Structure 1
Amino acid sequence: MSTPRFLTLPPGVAPQKIETPQGSFAALEALPVSGVVERWPALLVPGLTGSKEDFIAILQTLAQSGRRVLAVDLRGQYETPGPDDPSAYTCAALGADIDLLAQATGGGEPIHLVGHSFGGLVTREAVVDGRTKFASFTLMGSGPAAIVGRRAHHSRTLMKEVPEQGLEEVWHSRFEPEALNAGVPDDILAFLRKRLLANSPTALACMAEQVVTMHDRTEELRQVEVPTLVLYGEHDDGWPPETQSEMAAALGAESVVVPGAAHSPAVEAPETTAAALVRFWNAAESRLLDSRSGGM
């Protein structure tokens, strides 16, 4: 469970609804506080038990680079409604949602795509399916296949306990003790409870199954030839750092290790994470624009 650094929205950040043919998606939109939007937009996608709020600490910095930046809730996640149909929550189905969101928010421009943890598996589907040409792709704390270790155990527990016990009991038996042991402040604790209980139980259980069964699509992603960044904390306890490093090498992708961070660099080291994203996005845009002009 990632814990947002703060819940008060910084200047330039506001709640939005993104309308798509698949329905309405809750989002946080960040725009430059000073200056104008002059660079390509970005779309940020959270992990399994997370939400758009996991990106609050980096949104203002990212937008100040001259971009419109949107963080979204996936279908069935927190403030985005979802059906009771389990087929709506496969990585492929959620990836198709990302295509629609990119088309709705890009305004015809290329868009930078970022997926955190399970969100990395979902966004990878959108990149591989080829329906949208992305300006760049960032896997943040996300690996090549199913998650491992204690987070895999946690996801398997969710698969079993959410349908059997319900979200309220799962909060009291698992999420609340973990948050209390971590010393989470009362206001953040209240938000985490509200967020978990707002999830679709079907969505949460099905996404948990996806994150522990996903197959490796590294070779397919490599063939897309989208500028790719693999960014992860040096103490990541989801996919091991060495696994993410090996994936980056197999992709021919840039790799950034965030010092001091674990599984949620945007929460644990926001300035370092935001700076790495802005630098990568700027370089990707320069290369793409240069290639369009024939290198002149």
Structure 2
Amino acid sequence: MSTPRFLKLPPGVRRTTIETSRGPFAALEALPGSGVPERRPALLVPGLTGSKEDFLAVLQTLAASGRRVVSIDMRGQYESIGPDDESAYTRAALGEDLTALLETLGPDPVHLVGHSFGGLVSRETVLADRVRPASLTLMSSGPCAVTGQAATKAQSLRDAVPQLGMQAIWEIALEPDYTGRGLEPEIVAFIKARTLGNSETGLACMANEILTSPDHVEDLAKHCADTSLRTLVLYGENDDVWEPAAQAAMAERLNASKVVIPGAAHSPAWDAPETTATALTAFWNQAEHPCR
């Protein structure tokens, strides 16, 4: 990562705030070069410890196809305000936030993309069925709670945050790890700002949510069949959070389209941005014109 893409906004991408009925959400917004979207918009939702910047490398390419594309910090993440109320960070409550965002970004139906834990939250939004998206993409997201090493990390985060606080966790564990990887100082500075900007209550609660999520794939499959909602399961071939085989099986259960990104791990939008953006654009176009 020689270029700090997290810190430099490409042309046509800007920082903004999306005001909704459930409060404001910090966002990155990309528009087509003409400034006039001709296709349906898209909303990109990050994972547990992520932020809107996780999609920075794909925003410009996605918007070039004629769309308004918005990535957000969920409630309590980085630059989106979050309360100390634990009930604000359940999957259902965060799903209601996404419903409000879909309403705000309308009136046209919005393509919804959830990465990792953001995929579990997006599933809640779809199943609540208060606003129907133009399509649903589950990116590097599994059928239920994480297991194995990913579960161990989530448990450590859930248990350590209330005991130590994020400042101490940053100084003791995270900063030495990031600097030891040889990351550029400005990238480490960004990751520090993002880490300490998170709501500690939110982080602990969302870590618990990713550890306890039930399998709602059958419910989602029925909903998609009943409403003709097109769904894509997209993941890196080397994903180390949810096993690729588990995601492939989920795609089959959902009767969903499936794209495996070569060479990518858990963050295809970062590891292979052009391939990921091309796959998303093709899927969105097909969802808008299924007969073509």
Same fold (TM over 0.5): yes
Q: Distance in 2 between matches of 1:29 and 1:163?
A: 33
Structure 1 residues 202 and 35, CA gap change in structure 2 (3 angstroms): closer
Structure 1 residues 248 and 4, CA gap change in structure 2 (3 angstroms): farther
Write the deviation string for residues 238-270 of structure 1: whole angstroms up to 9, x where unpaired. Answer: 000000000000000011100000000001110
Q: Once the 2 structures are TM-superposed, how far is the Cα of residue 285 of structure 1 from its aligned partner?
A: 0.3
- Structure 1: give runs of 5+ residues left out of the alignment: none
Please give the TM-score of this superposition, normalised by the length of structure 1: 0.94
Q: Once the 2 structures are TM-superposed, how far is the Cα of residue 5 of structure 1 from its aligned partner?
A: 4.2
Aligned partner letter, 2:198: N
Q: What is the correspondence of 1:29-178 to structure 2 with a 5 Å cutoff?
A: 29-34=29-34, 36-106=36-106, 108-178=107-177
Write the deviation string for residues 114-151 of structure 1: whole angstroms up to 9, x where unpaired. Answer: 00000000111001111111110000000000012222
Identical-pair percentage: 58
Q: Distance in 2 between matches of 1:111 and 1:231?
A: 18
Q: Once the 2 structures are TM-superposed, how far is the Cα of residue 4 of structure 1 from its aligned partner?
A: 7.3
Structure 1 residues 245 and 80, CA gap change in structure 2 (3 angstroms): same
Q: Distance in 2 between matches of 1:181 and 1:240?
A: 27
Aligned partner letter, 1:14: R
Write the deviation string for residues 30-57 of structure 1: whole angstroms up to 9, x where unpaired. Answer: 0012473100000000000000000000
- Structure 2: give runs of 5+ residues left out of the alignment: none
Q: Distance in 2 between matches of 1:54 and 1:207?
A: 18
Conserved? CA contact 1:4–1:267, under 8 Å: no
Q: Once the 2 structures are TM-superposed, how far is the Cα of residue 274 of structure 1 from its aligned partner?
A: 0.3
Aligned partner letter, 1:42: A
Structure 1 residues 4 and 88, CA gap change in structure 2 (3 angstroms): farther
Conserved? CA contact 2:10–2:60, under 8 Å: yes
Q: Secondary structure at the match of 1:8?
A: coil
Q: Once the 2 structures are TM-superposed, how far is the Cα of residue 175 of structure 1 from its aligned partner?
A: 2.0
Structure 1 residues 110 and 36, CA gap change in structure 2 (3 angstroms): same
Q: What is the correspondence of 1:124-273 to structure 2 with a 5 Å cutoff?
A: 124-225=123-224, 226-273=229-276
Write the deviation string for residues 66-114 of structure 1: whole angstroms up to 9, x where unpaired. Answer: 00000000001100001100000000000000000000012x1011000
Q: Distance in 1 between matches of 2:20 and 2:13?
A: 21
Q: Distance in 2 between matches of 1:251 and 1:193?
A: 38
Conserved? CA contact 1:229–1:255, under 8 Å: yes
Q: Once the 2 structures are TM-superposed, how far is the Cα of residue 6 of structure 1 from its aligned partner?
A: 3.4
Matched positions, count = 286
Write the deviation string for residues 194-237 of structure 1: whole angstroms up to 9, x where unpaired. Answer: 00101110000000000111001101111122100000000000
Q: Secondary structure at the match of 1:176?
A: helix
Aligned partner letter, 1:164: Q
Please give the TM-score of this superposition, normalised by the length of structure 2: 0.95
Bigger shift: residues 112-121 or 147-156? 147-156
Aligned partner letter, 2:81: P
